[in-house]
Amino acid sequence: MKTLLLAAVAILAPASIHAQAKACEQLKTEIAAKLDQKGVKGYTLEIVAKDQGDGKVVGTCEGGTKKIVYRKGSAPADEAPKTDSKP
């Protein structure tokens, strides 16, 4: 039983670490693509430190040190848009 548990941990741990260590820009692009595919309009995605930002957290990256925050509506006028628009 111990051997089976250790084998499961050994297999699953690297997958979990890899998902958290993903590059933030890459993950942000993947999330934006999924939102666009679902027809979501008028949103921003922002990469912030894990203890900053307000909005819905839709992903973590760089080993959990940063998070990707989703907000409805467009970016404030003094900021550049945070999402890439695709033709």
- In this prediction, residue 32 carries a pLDDT of 95
Question: Can you name the residues that pair with 29 across neighbouring β-strands?
Answer: none
Q: Are 20 and 68 in contact (CB under 8 A)?
A: no
- In this prediction, residue 21 carries a pLDDT of 57
Which tokens belong to 39? Answer: 């027809």
Which tokens belong to 54? Answer: 């307000």
Helix (H, G, I), strand (E, B) or coil at 85: coil
- In this prediction, residue 7 carries a pLDDT of 43
DSSP character for 51?
T
- In this prediction, residue 1 carries a pLDDT of 54
**Low-confidence residues of the chain: pLDDT under 70:** 1-21, 74-87
- In this prediction, residue 40 carries a pLDDT of 92
What backbone torsions phi and psi does residue 13 show, to the nearest 5 degrees? -60, -50
- Alpha-carbon distances, residue 11 vs 5, 8, 27, 61 (angstroms): 10, 5, 23, 21
